[in-house]
Amino acid sequence: MKPPHQESLLSEVEFERLLNAAASTHSFETLSETIVYARGPACQPTQYLRIVSMMYHKLDANKIPYRIINDDGVTINELSEALDFAFTSLIGLGTTMRIWLTKVNQQDFRQQLAKGLRAHWPEIRQWVLFLYRSIIVQDDLDIDLRHICKKAVLEFLGLIRDDRLRVWSKSVPTDREVMKVISDLWFLEIRDPRFSSWDSMVINQRESAVFGTCLLMAFELGVSIDWENILSVFLRDPELIAKVSLCHLEGEISHGDELDLFCITCDLQIISVLSQLENIRLALMRQGVVKAAAEILALIVGREWKGEMQMDALPFLSQALEPFGASRADLVACGGPSWVFSLPLRPASTCACSRLGSGTEVRRQTLKKWGVLQGLEAAKGHSRRTTQVSETRRFQRARSNLPE
């Protein structure tokens, strides 16, 4: 009897049959089966490269359907059939490429994947824009179709986070249309609870991770962020984008013991970058960002903001507030940092905690004492819990804070 891990091994003939069926037929199941094989241990590097080529073929821009409302054009059912292969291929690329970039430690193999992605990006980009404009934001379409298309776009764009694909991803922060899509998907998670990417059972790609990576990448590459373009998604209102960023943090904090520390880190990165703009920084101050930061620290260390925790925090919190004329005495007098705050973090920082602890060894030991460093290490591993929490309550609270 074969060991369990060998039961999925395919001979060359069997693999050719599977690949040809996925490439030439209209079988959604066959395509899905091929992608599952690509994720498994039996798939070989040369086989995976051929599967990737097949998925690129499914994303030929000439296959983008046309949706004509109230006319004799494509019906919703026909549209759904045309989209099956596209969103499955996007999810397939997004989930398998990360596996293989780690699995095969060969520079030539990684470069081949990166160059292939860059070469096919113009057509994939058209699919991303089509799915966003014609499906995801269209209220009259089936919510399940809209949700799976949003998941597909997000899973694929999650590849932006991998530095080994920088030859492709470096063009994204300066792409006005794609950045607008990324910004609005980040906004959509707050304004409509049905599009939440949170799942206590499964590690999904998160909007904050994609949006935050693009913002930080712009600073790393030395390119300008088109703030006018991004703010157009938020009605050009600094108060609104500040509120959305804090709603993301509030939503993550509301999970209690089910914290997604990695996503919290990304939300802090976004606030760090947004605070570089004075009008947004002032909006964050007015809306109490320091209180949110203190709550995050309290959650990580499992203590309330008082006593020893307060005194431990004073050395680096007062340093962060120094540009605003705040002293340790001010912090103590205010009963903690619950008044106003901008936290003008450096864009390249890992998160608020890492920036504040990057100076002296004293501050580093303070962070270590709190357990914050361990918390961040856990975040890097995408720590998850398994208890289900209420999505509806989280987003109802977040939405109630948004302007009408």
When computed from its CA atoms, the radius of gyration of the chain, rounded to whole angstroms, is 23
Torsion of CA 321, 326, 330, 332, to 10 degrees: 20
Strands (E), 290-384: none
83 and 10 belong to one structural domain: yes
Q: Is residue 195 in a domain?
A: no
Q: What pLDDT, on the 0 to 100 scale, is given for residue 51?
A: 96
146 and 241 belong to one structural domain: no
Q: What pLDDT, on the 0 to 100 scale, is given for residue 248?
A: 93
Spans of the chain below 50 pLDDT: 1-7, 70, 73, 303-305, 309, 316, 319-321, 323-328, 330-401, 403-404
Domain boundary residue among 108, 140, 169? 169
248 and 303 belong to one structural domain: yes
Q: Is residue 369 in a domain?
A: yes
Q: Count structural domains, the chain.
A: 2
14 and 139 belong to one structural domain: yes
132 and 42 belong to one structural domain: yes
Q: Is residue 180 in a domain?
A: no
Would you state the structure tokens that stand for residue 97, as one six-digit string? 């490429």
373 and 287 belong to one structural domain: yes
Model confidence pLDDT, tens digit, residues 328-380: 454 444 444 433 333 333 333 333 333 323 333 433 443 343 333 333 333 33
8 and 154 belong to one structural domain: yes
Domain boundary residue among 169, 199, 223? 169
94 and 154 belong to one structural domain: yes
Q: Is residue 263 in a domain?
A: yes
Q: What pLDDT, on the 0 to 100 scale, is given for residue 262?
A: 85
Rounded to whole angstroms, the Cα distance separating 193 from 394 reads: 8
In 3D space, the residue among 402, 403, 382, 404 whose CA is nearest the CA of residue 190 turns out to be 402
Find the helix or strand (DSSP H, E) in which 248 lies.
helix 238-253
141 and 216 belong to one structural domain: no
Q: What pLDDT, on the 0 to 100 scale, is given for residue 77?
A: 53
Structural contact between residues 341 and 249, judged by C-beta atoms closer than 8 angstroms? no
Q: Is residue 307 in a domain?
A: yes
Q: Is residue 276 in a domain?
A: yes
Q: Is residue 187 in a domain?
A: no
Query: Range of 346's domain?
Result: 211-404
Q: What pLDDT, on the 0 to 100 scale, is given for residue 264?
A: 87
Find the helix or strand (DSSP H, E) in which 378 lies.
helix 372-380
Q: What pLDDT, on the 0 to 100 scale, is given for residue 9?
A: 75
135 and 235 belong to one structural domain: no
Q: Is residue 184 in a domain?
A: no
107 and 215 belong to one structural domain: no
- Residue 200 class from Cβ within 10 Å (0-12 exposed, 13-18 middle, 19+ buried)? middle
Q: What pLDDT, on the 0 to 100 scale, is given for residue 20?
A: 86
Domain boundary residue among 135, 169, 203? 169
100 and 221 belong to one structural domain: no
Q: What pLDDT, on the 0 to 100 scale, is given for residue 5?
A: 42
